[in-house]
Chains A and B, each alone.
Chain A
Amino acid sequence: MADNNQGSGIDSEVIVIKELSYTYPGGAEALKGISMSAARGERLGLVGPNGAGKSTLLLHLNGLLRGRGSVEVCGIPVTDGRLDEVRLKVGLVFQDPDDQLFMPTVFDDVAFGPLNMGLQREEVERRVEDALSAVDMLYAVERCSHHLSVGECKRVCVATALAMTPEALVLDEPTSNLDPYHRRRLIELVRGLDMTTVVAGHDLDAMLDICDRVVLLDGGKVAAVGPAEDILTERALLEAHSLELPLSRQS
């Protein structure tokens, strides 16, 4: 475990995963004994080829999937009896905004989490305003999600998680389907967040920009862990796992 934190220079661990394995009901073995951690304030990247287990791993951080092994968030074990606590600590942003934004308006979507937390109207409204301001989307508060552009949707998705003021933010492929301008804005947004962030994706340039440390997954196992600058510039390692150097590092 200590090895996994090399290069981060950050102390307390917010997410700790030990020997996590998961097999889908159909028999596909998605995770095979994963151990890793993310420290407070750290921006951790999960990279790997298709089917590496990145999204499956993210769903375990919020207790949406439950495998063998253990997952702890802020010292709370992810168990049946403590799922409500865990979900307050981890904000999860799905890859497809149409999955994340299911309410009739942006306001209702961002308020969904705070209302489930049992907060009073004034507090809910304050959180919605703060979260939408943080992602620069306050102007769309009364709009319907299906009227927003993909870039706007992605930002609102982040706001839905931020409104719950989680300790850790988990993002699945945040830059997918974004044009260069909105991709850049989203990267800046994630970089500007002052919280533990776990990002999974194939956009290795974005990973380089966002992440302090990277975990390379392949076939449901951890293939390599280290500072983003080291892992994502090691051509042989990346090519051995069906990845390529980030475009910015290709000569």
Chain B
Amino acid sequence: MHLPEIDKYAHLDSPLRRWDARVKLACLSVMLLAVALSPTHVAALVGLALASGLVLLSRIPLSFVFVHLRWVLLFCLFLLVVMPVRLAAGGSDTFWRAGPIALSGHGLSRATLIALRATGAMLLVYPMFGTARFHVSLKALRRLRVPLVIVQILAFTYRYVFVLLDEAARMLAAARARGLGRAGALRTFKCMGYIIGMLFVRSFERTQRVYMAMLARGYRGEVRTLDEFHLRSADLLKGALALGATALLITVGLVS
């Protein structure tokens, strides 16, 4: 099975790829926080523009970005449809009404702000984690003093999520080959429940085998790795630029 891994295009040369992963993650995390907390539409738009610019700079194909982004966009669309709806008529911000249903300008404004923030924040994930191999990003997170247990959970999740999805796909294919979906919705839901349950059981069994494989190679509670990072002046310059852009974003949020 072919799955869209976040670091699929990490080999593409770009200023972001050449940026020290520690500085990149630290600076872009601050920017991501600023985008996600943009207080106004103007600030959120500036954040979205910054994130889009960084995605373009990373040279990651937009079609690949859209593979993940579509789910965020779908969620945003849902918010844009649901949040403006008011059942009780009235309110000064109502801009459309049909019987008991009204659309509120305030709701639409909030939904738009959330959509802009979410899209901008999601776009920033690509320059952050799509321009270096994931294991390099994990080592950088560790160097940035992210707790070991969190880094290990991320590492194991990334290692085994594809194994798990492959297993799920094989089980679904086997179920379909034996008529899954032909015996009504209730029966299908029941079968899906069994499949999910079996996936949990298999995953649990795998964790036991993996743990034994770790013990067999001397594991005593801490996963150790070697890493090598070299900080250059260009990395610091890029960091300063990113932080400057973030400061601009925050300023726009305060004045607009």
Task: Determine whether A22 belongs to the interface, using a CB cutoff of 8 Å to chain B.
Answer: no
Contact check, A99 vs B155: say whether CB atoms are below 8 A apart: no
Q: Pick the interface stretch among A11-19, A71-79, A116-124, A210-218.
A: A116-124
Task: Determine whether B68 belongs to the interface, using a CB cutoff of 8 Å to chain A.
Answer: no
| Residue of A with least CB distance to B167 | A98
Q: Which residues of B contact A84 (CB under 8 A)?
A: 218, 220
Contact mask for chain B residues 215-240; partner A; CB cutoff 8 A; 1 contact, 0 none: 11111100111100000000000000
Task: Determine whether A92 belongs to the interface, using a CB cutoff of 8 Å to chain B.
Answer: yes
Contact check, B213 vs A102: say whether CB atoms are below 8 A apart: yes
Most buried by B among A62, A90, A112: A112
Known contacts A98-B163, A124-B226; A104/B218 CB under 8 A: no
Contact check, A102 vs B159: say whether CB atoms are below 8 A apart: yes
Give B151-183 interface residues, CB cut-off 8 Å to A.
Answer: 155-156, 158-160, 162-163
Contact check, A104 vs B134: say whether CB atoms are below 8 A apart: yes
Query: Which residues does A use to contact B, with CB under 8 Å?
Result: 59, 62, 64, 84, 87-88, 90-92, 94, 96, 98-100, 102-105, 107-108, 111-113, 115-117, 121, 124-125, 142, 144-146, 160-161, 164
Contact check, B159 vs A115: say whether CB atoms are below 8 A apart: no
Most buried by A among B160, B219, B226: B226
Known contacts A64-B216, A87-B218, A116-B224; A96/B209 CB under 8 A: yes
Contact check, B216 vs A87: say whether CB atoms are below 8 A apart: yes
| Residue of B with least CB distance to A84 | B218
Contact check, B213 vs A99: say whether CB atoms are below 8 A apart: yes
| Residue of A with least CB distance to B214 | A102
In-complex Cβ contact of B226 among A92, A94, A121 (8 A):
A121
Q: Which residues of A contact B156 (CB under 8 A)?
A: 102
Q: Which residues of B contact A145 (CB under 8 A)?
A: 159
Known contacts A102-B210, A146-B162; A116/B217 CB under 8 A: yes
In-complex Cβ contact of A108 among B135, B163, B209, B218 (8 A):
B135
Distance from A88 Cβ to chain B, minimum over Cβ atoms (Å):
7
Q: Which residues of B contact A125 (CB under 8 A)?
A: 226
Distance from B48 Cβ to chain A, minimum over Cβ atoms (Å):
31
Given A96-B209, A113-B218, 12 more A-B residue pairs with CB atoms under 8 Å apart are A64-B212, A88-B218, A90-B216, A102-B213, A102-B214, A104-B159, A112-B223, A115-B225, A115-B226, A144-B135, A146-B163, A164-B218
Query: Which residues does B use to contact A, with CB under 8 Å?
Result: 133-135, 138, 155-156, 158-160, 162-163, 206, 209-210, 212-220, 223-226
Contact check, A146 vs B159: say whether CB atoms are below 8 A apart: yes
Q: Which residues of B contact A92 (CB under 8 A)?
A: 213, 216
In-complex Cβ contact of A94 among B135, B160, B209, B220 (8 A):
B209
Distance from A120 Cβ to chain B, minimum over Cβ atoms (Å):
10
Complex-state Cα separation, A88 to B220, whole angstroms: 13
In-complex Cβ contact of B135 among A62, A88, A105, A117 (8 A):
A105
Q: Which residues of B contact A87 (CB under 8 A)?
A: 215-218
- For this complex, 14 residue pairs linking A to B, each with C-beta atoms less than 8 Å apart, are A62-B215, A62-B216, A90-B216, A92-B213, A98-B160, A99-B206, A102-B159, A102-B210, A103-B135, A103-B155, A104-B159, A112-B223, A124-B226, A161-B217
Complex-state Cα separation, A104 to B157, whole angstroms: 10
Complex-state Cα separation, A121 to B224, whole angstroms: 11
Q: Which residues of A contact B217 (CB under 8 A)?
A: 87, 112-113, 116, 160-161, 164
Complex-state Cα separation, A121 to B159, whole angstroms: 24
Q: Which residues of A contact B212 (CB under 8 A)?
A: 59, 64, 94, 99
Q: Which residues of A contact B155 (CB under 8 A)?
A: 103-104
Q: Which residues of B contact A59 (CB under 8 A)?
A: 212
| Residue of B with least CB distance to A128 | B226
Distance from A135 Cβ to chain B, minimum over Cβ atoms (Å):
16
Q: Which residues of B contact A91 (CB under 8 A)?
A: 216
Distance from A1 Cβ to chain B, minimum over Cβ atoms (Å):
26
Distance from A24 Cβ to chain B, minimum over Cβ atoms (Å):
12
Complex-state Cα separation, A92 to B214, whole angstroms: 10
| Residue of A with least CB distance to B138 | A104
What are the 3 tightest A-B residue pairs by CB atom distance, in nearest-first order?
A116-B218, A104-B135, A113-B217
Distance from A117 Cβ to chain B, minimum over Cβ atoms (Å):
6
Contact check, B210 vs A99: say whether CB atoms are below 8 A apart: yes
| Residue of B with least CB distance to A95 | B209
| Residue of A with least CB distance to B161 | A146
